[in-house]
Amino acid sequence: MSRYVLGLEEIDRTRAAVVGGKGAHLGELSRVKGIRVPAGFCVTTDAFRRVVAEAPSVNDRLDRLSRLKPEDRGAIRALGAEIRRTLEGIAIPDDLAAEITGALAELGERAACAVRSSATAEDLPTASFAGQQDTYLNVAGPAAILQRVGRCWASLFTERAVTYRLQNGFDHRKVQMAVVVQRMVFPRASGVLFTADPLTGNRKVASIEAVFGLGEALVSGVANADAYEVRDGGVVARAVAAKRLALHASLAGGTQEQAIGPERQDQPALTDAQVVRLARLGRRIEAHFGRPQDIEWCLADDEFEFVQSRPITTLFPVPEAGDGENRVYVSVGHQQMMTDPMKPLGLSFWQMTTPRPMAEAGGRLFVDVTRELASPASRAGLLAVLGGSDPLIGDALRTMVEREDFLPSLPDEGPAWAPPGGGAPTPIETDPAVVAELIGRSQASIAALKREIRAKSGGALFDFILADLQEMRRVQFDPRSMQAIMAGMEAARWLNERLEAWLGEKNAADTLAQSAPNNVTSEMGLALLDVADAIRPHRDVVAFLRHVGDEAFLDELPGIEGGREARDAIRAWLDRYGMRGVGEIDITRPRWSERPTTLVPMILGNVRNFGPGAAKRRFEQGLQEAREKERELLGRLRALPEGERKAEEAKRMIDRVRTFAGYREYPKYGMVGRYFVYKQALMEEAGRLARAGVLREKEDIFYLRFEELREVARTNRVDDRLVRERKDAFRSYGALTPPRVLTSDGEAVAGAYRRDDVPAGALAGLAVSAGAVEGRARVILDMAEADLEAGDILVTAYTDPSWTPLFVAIEGLVTEVGGLMTHGAVIAREYGLPAVVGVEHATRLIRDGQRIRVHGTDGYVEVLP
């Protein structure tokens, strides 16, 4: 076997390190029965490494390249050009050139060939790298082939390739380049075939694009393409484009554009029979590779030849059901305001926490609502609750109901649907003592947990946690707790409906809920203002905090004037709220107590933007506005016919909102507090396993499910390969966008706002906190990078409770994900911030720094000139 050249027939998918992604896939593709692949060979990565070794100066430039950021475009361009010139200037050693020309002779020494780059980080399941390196078509003759091989090696360092690697975290030194040389195909038509719909993700729909001539015209955008969709062996959609240009091989070598005569411009590139045959071949390729494929094909002499097949990297995975039945899944993350992927330990804890079974896909959790959606008895409740919380979920579910052939036919019987732990709410007295009692019981339960878990380790620890999870579920889904939450929600709904009908007042409950008592999440944001008050008088402390580098800064503070007071204030805040953090429903995510440096930018922002006593003033202002609104509304009601009755009813509901609205945030606070106690105990156990050499590092436990970790602790053995695979999978999940509603066909069902009250050009969303505000948009995806000024409007993907400290510094809120009772909405109402949530693609459609107007009462956002 040659070290430098391998025939395609010698290659399979396991050889990517030797022949790159493209070469490995082509070799594997050539093994699929009934699939034609143009003959060819690969120049291996060993040849690339040998050539690079001839240029020691490349090493220094690679060091400099690795230190750049994707936005350093000028430096990337200059350094990349230097490396390319160096590589192109190296003469290919004689023995290597002889191997390449020898393989070329087997194709026909003067045969026209395609010379194609094949990097080792190309066509991966998690990153395609498509189009990042160079391809040369219709190249003939040994000298020309050798020259193009050298250019392919150099193309590893084009600006676009280097930038792509930097963006995706690939080490430049670890990416090697192979080159594929294949006999050229001169097709009548070419194109791409996706064995799943790349837009919706539907695995049962094949999507085909076709042009006359070479497929490069489609890739480069020179030619319009015909589009076809195939399902169940038939063409279900077609759009024939006006094709005015095609790309063909040139007699002089390379390619050239050719005009298409008027008589052919509107003719389809493929017949329906050819489309169906191509889709059938695509299914054969997909079955061989075991996942949906992005396939490049050519049609010559009425035979399809395939010149590439790579995994479609953008599809969201489908939950495994195993029974072949149609299913409809609803995203848990969109309800919990955490659409990022979760690690396996986090997934298993959340599944053990909630009473309803959940499916997994792409590191996210989904609830199967097929039966509830199919049954008329439960459907109305499901649509009312989920649609009321998130209209886009509601609309997507209605879309599925309208597809009469998808859902099973179930009788109109059975219980109505209710949220997990819910059910029909029973009356509860409007008494603040009820909330105080519920909070006291939760606090006592967590205090007992902290006392008892200290003595547990090994198997006893895991047994204890399993038992305590039952206690947590008892507390979390205590009927009286659920009644208190529902009482506040139902009272707010009653007020909004009745006061709009009686007085024309929209979303009145939003103002009435401001500064409600017992809202532990809004209190957290105000308490951080008090921390700023303790720090603001001490200039040396402020200066020190501006340059904090690691988590030890709290221990260093006492050495600075005023530092002891600052440290005590921060620690007191952490004692109460330090178990929280971004993505807190995932037990594996860092907590503020573990990374207090994440608080520093928010504290400094509060020092800069506010004066002493801001927390108390803010709370009192909200309370005053709520009381004034109550007086105003009751006065207006009394002036109506039957006004005394209406005012009396409204007063009862206002009291219920004030009594119970704040408690909505407490159960999750209690759950997260419990999670942190579990995590601390499990990390101690992980430390023991790491010291014993069982684990490479403590954090490896995050990539094991609870029962798997329990077994590791019992046996002192871990499957390192499984941990590595889970880490790789988790990294890949971060690039995926989870759908609100997903089917067993893999289709991400998009809902829509079907409204006619949104001005042209405005962005529709869900109104969750009344009022209107205009200001500068700050588009922030990472809370640690927030740099807010007074008057800014926060625009982000989602907010969980950890974002609350930022709310004190903003005037309005816009999120892509959210519902009426999700945390961002609750806190926005508490603080009196106009807010619109569920605005699709808000972080892309609104640019950082633009002026926008948020219509929190009517539910839309305007981008201003």
Hey, which residues are catalytic here? Answer: 823
For residue 224 the two structure tokens come to 């319009």
Burial (Cβ within 10 Å: 0-12, 13-18, ≥19) of residue 75: middle
**Measured between alpha carbons, how far is 834 from 134 in angstroms, rounded to an integer?**
51
What are the tokens at 753? 């706002």
Rounded to a whole number, what is the largest CA-CA distance in the chain? Answer: 101
Non-local (6+) Cβ contacts of 125 within 8 A are 291, 311, 313, 732
Is residue 661 within 8 A of residue 568, CB to CB? The reply is: no
Phi and psi based region of residue 458 (left: phi greater than 0; alpha: psi -120 to 50; beta: remaining): left
Cβ–Cβ under 8 Å, residues 208 and 272: no
Residue where the block lists tokens 């886009």:
392
Cα Rg of the chain (Å, integer): 31
From residue 742, alpha-carbon distances to 185, 256, 558 in Å are 40, 44, 53
Report the alpha-carbon distance of residue 260 to residue 240 in Å, rounded: 15
Distance CA 799, CA 822 (A): 9
Q: Which residues of 201-232 are buried (b: 16+ CB within 10 A; e: fewer)?
A: bbbebbbbbbbbbbbbbbbeebbbbbebbbee
Which residues, including other chains, have CB under 8 Å from residue 624's CB and lie 6 or more apart? none
Question: Is 58 in contact with 87 (CB distance < 8 Å)?
Answer: yes
Residues 6+ apart with CB under 8 A from 143: none
Which residues lie below 8 Å from residue 352, measured CB to CB, with a gap of 6+? 466, 469, 706
Contacts 24+ apart (CB under 8 A), 49-53: 49/176, 50/4, 50/93, 50/96, 51/87, 51/90, 51/92, 51/93, 51/96, 51/150, 51/153, 52/87
CB atoms within 10 A of CB 553: 18
Sheet holding 748-749, edge to edge: 359-361, 364-368, 328-331, 741-743, 748-749
CA 635 to chain centre: 48
Amino acid type, 844: R
Cα–Cα–Cα angle for 622, 625, 630, rounded to 5 degrees: 125
Q: Residue written as tokens 């070419």?
A: 190
Is the distance from CB of 531 to CB of 606 less than 8 angstroms?
Answer: yes
Tokens of 227: 């589009």
C-alpha closest to that of 203 among 794, 568, 748: 748
What tokens does 45 get? Answer: 């990565």
C-alpha closest to that of 136 among 123, 122, 120, 118: 118
End-to-end Cα spacing for the chain: 66
